Amino acid sequence: MPDNKLRRRLPAEWEAQSGVQLTFPHTDTDWYAVLDEVLPCFIEIAETISRFEKALIVCQNQAETRAMLRHAVADNLLFAEIASNDTWARDHGGITIEENGAPVVLDFMFNGWGLKFPADLDNRITRRLWENGLLHAGHRYPGLVLEGGAIESDGQGTLLTTAACLLSPNRNPQLSKAETEERLKNEFGLRRVLWLHHGYLAGDDTDSHIDTLARFCAPDTIAYVQCPDPGDEHFPALREMERELQAFRSSEGKPYRLVPLPWPEACFAPDGHRLPATYANFLILNGVVLAPTYGVPQDAEALHTFSNLFPAHQIIGINCRPLILQHGSLHCLTMQYPAGVIR
């Protein structure tokens, strides 16, 4: 059970933020062959974030990176020159909780999505940011392998996740499902964990991160990926995922308001393999939602869906077609920090 004496809580993404971390690509990352194609996307995301809150940029060369961000709000840019293996800040970034009302950054182990890719440098980034005084919060190592893209919080004690990821044998093989759930409840002050046992995207490297499949948009609302084409390879698994979501109940015992997201037409890499395009990989900022688009006909419908999901927010589409070349998208690149953490 959670240690109630500590009064821990994992905020929802729509709560007030102080800033968002991005880890920029460089020639020693897997982006090296398409840097010219992908850098404009990183730049657009960073510049857009800077209009609404701080953008904390982890990079190899501050002067060069600052020069790229010509249209950013300069006062909202913070830089940290820290070595990195790759760029997926959602998964190597710190996860901030409230503990007795004060922020604490949990520095989980990042092992390259179950030992698939090198991650030794990425695994040190959060510690370096904290040591450099860029994160104004407590800092703790929970001693678990966990990526931010693997969990969704409603801010009220409910966590949404996938069994395929959290129970992967290359993450925390020493823990059973029950033990994993107990650790999550203790670290995040949770009352319950909702497990999805179905759902995947072809081309995904993360073992079905929840932020590619289903997202809390409010405590009573979940947006999710729905595949309407019975001929698509994803149809059976995503139909079963939809049934699981329909069976879930909110903490008040009511069915969730479930909002299906459009299914983008298939996107393929130059070598022919299918890429994991998903509209579920959106990012909530202060008063704004950044929505991934892919240059497909369903983009307009997706933006309209987000307008209905977040009527009080401005919706800004970001062309993320280059990002899925490395099997991630907008949310995967970013990690938000609650109010007060980045100053």
Q: Hey, which residues are catalytic here?
A: 332
156 is written with which tokens? 């009220």
8 is written with which tokens? 């821990």
What is the rounded distance in angstroms from the CA atom of residue 336 to the CA atom of residue 343?
13
Of 181, 180, 122, 118, the residue nearest 332 (C-alpha): 122
Q: What is the largest CA-CA distance in the chain?
A: 54
Question: Are 5 and 328 contacting, i.e. CB atoms less than 8 angstroms apart?
Answer: no
Residue partners of 204: CB distance under 8 A and separation at least 6: 212, 276, 327
- DSSP string for residues in 255-316: B-EEEEEP-PPPEE-TTSPEE---TT--EEETTEEEEEE-SSTTHHHHHHHHHHH-TTSEEE
What is the rounded distance in angstroms from the CA atom of residue 17 to the CA atom of residue 290?
14
Output the CA torsion 287→326→129→212 (10° steps): 40
Beta bridge partners of 249: 255
Of 153, 149, 137, the residue nearest 11 (C-alpha): 153
The burial class, CB within 10 Å (0-12 / 13-18 / 19+), for 163 is: middle
